[in-house]
Amino acid sequence: MIRLQLPVLDSLADIQAAVQTAIEIEFSTLPPYLYAASSILPGTNAPAVACLREIIHEEMIHLCLASNIMNAIGGSPQMTVPKFPGPLPGDVGRNPDGTQFSVHLYPFSPESMKQGMNIEEPDEPIDPPEMEKLMAMAIASETGSIADYYRHLENALSQLPASAWQPGRNQIDDSQFFQGQLFAVNSFADAQKAISDIVSEGEGSSDSPLNFEGEVSHFYRFQEIYRNQVLTKANNAVGYVWGLPLGIDYAAAYPAITDPCIHDFSHEPAAAQAAQVRCNSAFSDMVDALQLAFNGQPAQLGVGVRSMFALRQAMQAALTTPLADGHSVAGPSFLYIPQNQRQS
């Protein structure tokens, strides 16, 4: 479990800063989850692909909701590009045992699924026998899980006067993006619902691995893939049991390197270098479009969606272009390139 610092929220500026950290947390989960999902060989690991796509889809919605909260209280969302390897925003850099927690771009593997579990882990996971040791080492008081961070933020938002809320300001709703799943935030009640959705979809409820819509939450989806077992309802103390194999084959993945973001491509074939440029250009286009869309230019959402498709195509090219060793490939590095340096 990562431990996030719980900031003092005494002013509107403090709360806006905390919401910005929440935006950065949501954005920072996308590259590692995308890297793992994109490195799965086409036509294989269907259950894992379905789970990971749904998680990525929901994380995008969480990014939009957090940005809507920021706009609703007069702030300006910033699409700050995460750097890997490194801690997530707001992380004090410790695991419960005191060691450094660093997020990496892992290809599809047990390590990538375990990392997803670490990011999404609730305070009290539903699987006591396996988690007791971790819980016994939990860090208390000044730090907490992502859910604790959101609850801390929710409490601060509840203290804001009605005059602090600016209904209709730069809101993105499901008429523009994620039909039927995204909504505007115009009041504390809306922000409370957004936070509730984010928390439940990430770690489930306090007494169930399911979110409020009855779907398995992110932590347990990662755990299903990691364990290669389906989480099934059962008549026991916790209400669930690990059941039949999910059908995971970690060998059915591209031989992608870890952390291409810090790899020296200057000695790699020209085709591999070009693939990285395409990936980074498409990613950068997407970042710029989202920045504008969340700050009063909703038409840029269409540009962002086109950039997402371009990124998907570029990722496939990168994952099928061998490096100099003749075997390995490099997935997307998720590096931001200034606009005047991008591939057209």
**Is residue 255 domain-resident?**
no
Residue 250 maps to a domain? no
pLDDT, position 138: 37
**Domain co-membership, 216 together with 281:** no
pLDDT (tens digit, 9 = 90+) per residue, 131-158?
333 333 333 334 567 888 899 999 999 9
Q: What is the pLDDT of residue 94?
A: 52
Structure confidence at residue 127 (pLDDT): 62
Last residue of a domain, one of 245, 270, 302: 245
- The number of folded domains in the chain is 2
Question: pLDDT value at position 139?
Answer: 36
Tell me the CATH number at 108.
Answer: 1.20.1260.10
Q: What is the DSSP string of 31-83?
A: HHHHHHHHTBPTTS-HHHHHHHHHHHHHHHHHHHHHHHHHHHTT-----PPP-
Q: Which residues of the chain have pLDDT under 70?
A: 1-5, 91-100, 127-144, 204-207, 343-344
Amino acid at 258: T
pLDDT for the residue 131: 37
The whole-number pLDDT of residue 214 equals 75
Q: Which amino acid is at 197?
A: D
CA–CA dist 41, 192 (Å, integer): 39
The whole-number pLDDT of residue 37 equals 98
Q: 26 near 66, Cβ under 8 Å?
A: yes
Is residue 119 a part of any domain in this protein?
Answer: yes
Q: Residue 209's pLDDT is what?
A: 81
Do the domain assignments include residue 252? no
The H or E element containing residue 195 is: helix 188-203
Whether residues 292 and 224 share a domain: the answer is no
C-alpha 320/C-alpha 161 separation (Å) is 54
In angstroms, how far is CA 260 from the centroid of its own chain? Answer: 18
| The predicted structure's pLDDT at residue 269 | 97
Q: Does a structural domain hold residue 280?
A: yes
